[in-house]
Amino acid sequence: MSDTEFDIIRRYFMRQISNRRDVITGIGDDAALLQVPAGMELVVCMDTLVDGVHFPTGTPAAAIGHKALAVNLSDLAAMGAEPAWVTLAITLPEPDADWLAGFSQAFFKLADYYKVQLVGGDTTQGPLSITVQAHGFVPQGTALRRQGAQPGDHIFVTGTLGDAGLALQLRGDAGRELQQRLDFPEPRLAAGQALRGIASAAIDISDGLLADLGHLLEKGRLGATVFVDDLPRSVAFTEAVQRHGAQFRELPLSAGDDYELCFTVPAELLQQLAVAQAHFSCSCTRIGTVEKQAGIRCYTADGEGYALNARGYEHFGVLPHG
């Protein structure tokens, strides 16, 4: 028997445990047939990971399988959505059995944890690249949006910042904890859902705090003050910066690979936030305030203005004039 695309799909991608009742037909027809529950809006996002661009060449297949799904679930988290279905387009130089086993195992481990079902996809031959599209639900009118922050709102982030960025910089020399943060980011789905009705705006930090907070503010032409010494850093991060040098200390401002949430909360809802935090499954730290004046102003704990030489990640640096 020749081991064709259909066999690959069957062998590695049709053994999932999750079997949702809202999936009428999953893999195996021209398209998936799905039922969005009544009263719910559909939330859809798509992210591509390219070898050597979004992960270093040689990254373990399990880390790629986890991350390809996690970065999409992170987008759903930023909308306050509950995940439901995913599709997967996988382009591979050759159908390597070990690689596919590692990839699919990690992909399904994360998918099953969140009861997400793979409902379709495409397998093609070519340079290594993974595109995942995730689908989730939010009750009508409750989605978190990028737009909505108001002057005076408090700015928060989940978890800790800079861990994954530091692991990327140290290339395998970062220690298990930071490497884990880079390879196996945890989408903040519980936090996103708990923030419905509380956060005035939300985004996931995939391009770096400054860049993504900038996206939150730009639609309302707002600005912010950020207290850089308040940015949450893990013990592993602080220790590694002490060991490897101060050039890494700005990573919490600029590194995007942690996939934490950044969100704003009006002062009158801070008490509700305190209650909601019990459902976050992660920490949550206030880092600044939304202001009317455009631009992001950073200050250290002693009130000094903080000069920035860090920018968020952008896929294309400088382009020809078009």
Element (H, E) at 65: helix 61-78
| Cβ-based nearer residue to a copy of itself, 76 or 296 | 76
Q: How far is the CB of 239 from a copy of itself (least distance, A)?
A: 32
Q: How far is the CB of 148 from a copy of itself (least distance, A)?
A: 11
Helix or strand or coil: residue 214? helix
Cα–Cα distance, 304 to 298 (Å, whole number): 8
Q: How far is the CB of 9 from a copy of itself (least distance, A)?
A: 10
Cα–Cα distance, 87 to 26 (Å, whole number): 10
Cα–Cα distance, 44 to 81 (Å, whole number): 10
| Cβ-based nearer residue to a copy of itself, 14 or 36 | 36
| Cβ-based nearer residue to a copy of itself, 188 or 233 | 188
Give bridge partners of residue 204 from the DSSP assignment. 261
| Cβ-based nearer residue to a copy of itself, 84 or 241 | 84
The burial class, CB within 10 Å (0-12 / 13-18 / 19+), for 17 is exposed
Cα–Cα distance, 78 to 158 (Å, whole number): 11
Cα–Cα distance, 132 to 118 (Å, whole number): 10
| Cβ-based nearer residue to a copy of itself, 43 or 265 | 43
Cα–Cα distance, 171 to 257 (Å, whole number): 14
| Cβ-based nearer residue to a copy of itself, 49 or 241 | 49
Q: How far is the CB of 242 from a copy of itself (least distance, A)?
A: 34
User: Measuring CA to CA, which residue among 216, 206, 208 is closest to residue 155?
Assistant: 216
Q: For residue 216, how far is the Cα from the chain centroid?
A: 15
Q: How far is the CB of 137 from a copy of itself (least distance, A)?
A: 10
Q: How far is the CB of 248 from a copy of itself (least distance, A)?
A: 24
| Cβ-based nearer residue to a copy of itself, 129 or 254 | 129
Q: How far is the CB of 101 from a copy of itself (least distance, A)?
A: 9
Tokens of 109: 């481990």
Q: Are 40 and 140 in contact (CB under 8 A)?
A: yes
| Cβ-based nearer residue to a copy of itself, 144 or 240 | 144
Tokens of 42: 């559909």
Q: How far is the CB of 141 from a copy of itself (least distance, A)?
A: 9
The phi and psi torsions of 198 (rounded to 5 degrees) equal -120, -55
Helix or strand or coil: residue 51? strand
The phi and psi torsions of 42 (rounded to 5 degrees) equal -95, 135
